[in-house]
Amino acid sequence: MILALIVVTVVAVCLLYLLLTNLVALAFVLLGAKESAFRKLEDETTDYATLASSRFTVPVSVIVAAHNEERVIEATIRSLLAFDYPQFEVIVVNDGSTDWTLERVRDAFGLEPYHVFQRRVFASETVRSVYRSPEVPNLVVVDKANGGKADSLNAGLNVARYRYVCGVDADTVFDRRALLKAMRVAVQDPGRVVGITSQITPARTPERIMAAPPGKRPVERGPLFVFQHLDFLRAFVNNRLAWSRHGFMLCTPGGFQIWRRDVLEEVGGYSTAFTCEDIELTFRVHEHFLRAGRDYRINSLPDSVGVTEAPDTVAKLVAQRERWQRVIDETVVHHRRMWFNPGYKSVGVVGAPFYLLSEVVSPVFELLALGALVASVALGIFQPLAFLVVLAAMAFANAALTAAAILLDDLQSRLYRKRDLVRLLLYAPFDMVLYRPIIFWARMKGSWRFLRGDMGWYKFERNIRATT
Amino acid sequence: VQDVVFYAGATVLAVSFVAWALLGIVVVVGRTRFDRRRGESSRPLGSREARRLVARALRPVGTERGTWRRIAAFSRLARAHHPAAPRVVRQALSDRDERVSAAAVRALGEIGDEWAVELLVDALREGRVPRSRVASQLEHVYPLPAPQLVPLLRDRDPAVRFWAATLLAPYPELGESQLVLMTHDRDANVRAAAAETLGTRGGQASCTAILALLDDPAWFVRVHAARSAGQLLEAAATSSLVRLLCDARWWVRTAAKDALRGIGPDAVPALLAMLTDPDAFARNGAAEVLQDIGFVDSLLGDRSRSALLERIFEAGGEQMRRAAEERARRARRLEEVQAA
C-alpha cells in the first residue's frame, strides 16, 4: 500500500513537471510567434541590395574550426567563399587533423605556406603554418597542433582582421545570403548588438539540400533525419525567438555564431575548460554585460542560413546529443550564481532557471517516470488504458507545438516543398514514441559522464557521400 | 487518482489533437495560397490596394505591429514609384520612431529622384537617422549627390564633415582643396576620412597632406594615411611607410604592411634596409612583406644571393625559412609534373 502510494506520488510529480514544461513551451511559442512576425516585416523592408554593395557594411571574419573533416571541408569553404557580402575573409583552422583535411584544402584552393606575424591576444596551441591562396585572396588557412574547437577558434581570432567574427562548423553548408541576413541586425545597431545567430537545419548531405532553390528545398528522407529536423525547428523557432525577444538568448550554436570581436577580447575568448564552447560563451557574455549593467543584445533570427550534417545512425546521434547534454550541464552548473537571481534580469529569472529545469533536471524526472512505470507493473496497479491515453496526450501536445514551429518557419521562409511540410506534420505525433527515447538515453549518458567529469568530444563519423 | 489522470489525459489529448490538426491545415492551405500568389508583389499596384497602403502609411500607430505594417506600406509605395510616395515618405522621415525614419531613408534611396536626394542630404546634416544608413543610400542614388555634399565639408558638426569627406571619395574632381584643409581638423575622425578620400586624388597638395598624416597622434588616422599613401604615392611613400612597421599599434603596422605589399618590388630597397633595424617589429614586418611580394621566392634559386636570403630569414625566423622551402619544393614538383 505504501509502495503504491509512493508510485502514485511519483507519477503525479512527473505529470506536474510535464504540465509545467509544456505550459512554458506554449508561452514561448506565443512570444516567438510575435518575434517571428516582426522579423519577417523587418526582413521584407530591408534593402539587401544596398547592404550587399555598400562599403559601409561592417566587414566580417568567418572562422571555421576543422578537425578530420576531409569529406566535407571543401564544400563548406566553397559555400563560405560564395557569400553575397561586400567584405569578408574566411579563416580555416586545421586543428591537428590526422586525415587529409589540410591536403584536401591545399589542393582545392592552390594554397602556399607563408609565415605571418600575428597577435597573440588569445591563447592557443602552437601554429605550425599559415597558408594563403593566390587565387582566393580572402582565404587564410591556419595549421595548428590539436587543441579542440575552442582553441582553434581562438587561433582564428588571432588572425582575424575585422570587427565582427563569425564562427561556423566545418560540416555546415551555408546559404549565399547567410551573412547578409544576420548582419542586417548588427548594421542597424552596432553599438548594442554583440551576438547574432540564426536557424540551421540538419541533413544527411547538406550540399545536396542547399543546391535546391528556396521553395523547392527538400527535407532529408528517413525518419531519423525528419525527427532531427523537427527537433531543430522546435529549438530555433519555438524557443530561441522568444528568448531573443526577451533578452535571455542563452544558446548561440557553434554552427553559426557571430560575435563582436571587442566583446570576445573583453571576456577572454572561447574557453577550453568546457566540452563545447558555444553555449558557455553565450552564458559568459550575458554574465559579463549584466554584471556591469551594460546595454546589449544577443539575437537569434528566424532565417534559415545553412544546413549542417546530421548523424545518420542512432549511435552517432546518441554520441552527439550526450555531448550536448554534458556541455549544458557543465555550463548551467558553472554559472549557478545566475539561477533565480534578479540581478541578472530575465537571464537570472527565466533563462537560467529554464535551462536548469528543462535540460539539467529533466533526465531525473524521465528516470523517475520510467521507474514508476516499472514499479506500477510490478505492484499490479498499472492501468494500460490510462497509460495509453496519457502517452497519446503527450505525443499530440508535442505534435501541436511542433506544428506551430513548422507553421512559423514556413511563414518566415517558404523554403520547403509542400509535400515535405505535410511529411513533417505527419511525423510530428510519432516524435514522442520513436525519437524521444533515443534522446532520453543520450541525456542519461551525458548526465552520467558529466557527473564523472568526462570531457571527451566523441566525434561521430561523417556520413558517407555518394560523390566521394 | 487513475480516473483523474485518465480524464485529464483524455482532455489534453482531445485539445492537442485538434490543435495539431488545425495548425496542419493552416500550414498546407497557407502554403498553397502563397504558391498561387508567388511574385504578386512585383505586379503594379492596383488603385484600391494603393489607397489602402496610403491610408496605412499615413495613419499614426501606437503598436509595434502597426509600426511595421506602416513601414511595409510606404516601402511598397516607394518601390512602385506611386505618386503618393513622396508625401508618405517625407512624413515618415520626420517620425520620432527610429525604425520608421530609417525605413524612410531606405525608401528614399529606392525612389532616387532629385527631391529624394535632397531629403537624404538634409537627413545626413540633421543626424536624426544614423548617418551611416543615410550614407549607404547616398552612395547609390542617381542623380549623384556630390555637388550637395561639397558645402557639407565646412559644416560645424564634425560628424557631418566626416560623412561628407567619406562620400566624396568617388568624385576625384571635387573638394580637393577643402579636403587638404581638413587634414588639420581638430576632430581625428574627420582627419581620417580626409586621408582616406585624398587617397583617390592625385595632386601635390594631397600627397604632402597624406605624408604629414603618417605622423598623426591618432593611430586610426595613421592607418588611413598609410593606406592612402600606398595607393597614391606608391614608391615615393616607401621610406615613410617602412617607418610605420615599428609603430606601437598593431593596426598601423598591418596597414603599413598592406600598403607596402601593394607597392610591390619598388619597396624592396627600403625593406632590405629595415632588416637590421633595432626594432623587432620592423625587422619582422619587413621580412614578411619581402616574403609576400615574392622577393624571397625569387632569391631561393639563386645561390649567389644566399647571404641576402639568410638576412631575411634571420629577421623573419625559422618558420619563414620552412615555409619558403616548402613553397620551393612544391614549385619544383609542379614543374616536374608539367614537364612529364
Q: Which residues of B touch A403 (CB under 8 A)?
A: 19-20, 23-24, 27
Residue type, B177: S
pLDDT digits 0-9 by tens, B227-266: 999 988 888 889 999 999 999 999 999 999 999 999 999 9
Residue type, B259: A
pLDDT at B70: 92
Cβ atoms of B30 and A411 within 8 Å: the answer is yes
pLDDT digits 0-9 by tens, B299-326: 987 777 788 999 999 999 998 999 999 9
pLDDT digits 0-9 by tens, A399-452: 999 999 999 999 999 999 999 999 999 999 999 999 999 999 999 999 999 999
Q: Which residues of B touch A425 (CB under 8 A)?
A: 20, 24, 27-28
pLDDT at B61: 80
ipTM, interface predicted TM-score of the complex:
0.91
Q: Which residues of A touch B139 (CB under 8 A)?
A: 50, 54-56
Which one of A7, A41, A133, A414 makes the best mutation probe of the B interface by having the most chain B beta carbons within 10 Å?
A: A41
Cβ atoms of B138 and B152 within 8 Å: the answer is no
Residue ranges in chain A whose pLDDT is less than 50: 466-468
10 Å CB burial of residue A107 (0-12, 13-18, 19+) is exposed
Say yes or no to pLDDT of B40 above 80.
no
Write down the H helix ranges in B183-249.
188-198, 204-213, 219-232, 238-243
A401 three-state secondary structure:
helix
Give the minimum alpha-carbon distance from A452 to chain B in angstroms, rounded to a whole number: 37
Do the Cβ atoms of B31 and A161 come within 8 Å? no
Residue of chain A whose alpha carbon sits nearest to that of B74: A45
pLDDT at A29: 96
pLDDT at A467: 44
CB atoms within 10 A of CB B78: 26
Q: Which residues are CB-neighbours of B168 under 8 A, at least 6 positions away?
A: B146, B149, B150, B153, B174, B175, B179, B197
Residue of chain B whose alpha carbon sits nearest to that of A51: B136
Which pTM does this prediction carry? Answer: 0.91
Write down the H helix ranges in A215-277.
223-233, 241-245, 261-267
Do the Cβ atoms of A410 and B31 come within 8 Å? yes
The verdict on B69 touching A (C-beta cutoff 8 Å) is yes
Residue of chain A whose alpha carbon sits nearest to that of B75: A45
pLDDT digits 0-9 by tens, A6-27: 998 999 999 999 999 999 999 9
Residues 195-234 of B with CB under 8 A from A: none
Q: Which residues are CB-neighbours of A56 under 8 A, at least 6 positions away?
A: B132, B135, B136, B139
Lowest mean pLDDT among B108-112, B273-277, B294-298: B108-112
Do the Cβ atoms of A403 and B291 come within 8 Å? no
Order of strands across the sheet that contains A297-309: A112-114, A127-132, A139-144, A88-95, A60-66, A164-169, A256-260, A193-203, A297-309, A172-174
* pLDDT band (50, 70, 90) for residue B42: low
Q: Select from A46, A50, A393 the Cβ nearest to the Cβ of B12.
A: A393
CA angle B271, B276, B281 (to 5 degrees): 70
If you average pLDDT over residues B288-297, what whole number do you get? Answer: 94
Distances (CA, A) of A150 to A154, A278, A294, A319, A330: 6, 9, 26, 19, 15
pLDDT at A465: 55
Do the Cβ atoms of A406 and B23 come within 8 Å? yes
Residue of chain B whose alpha carbon sits nearest to that of A393: B13
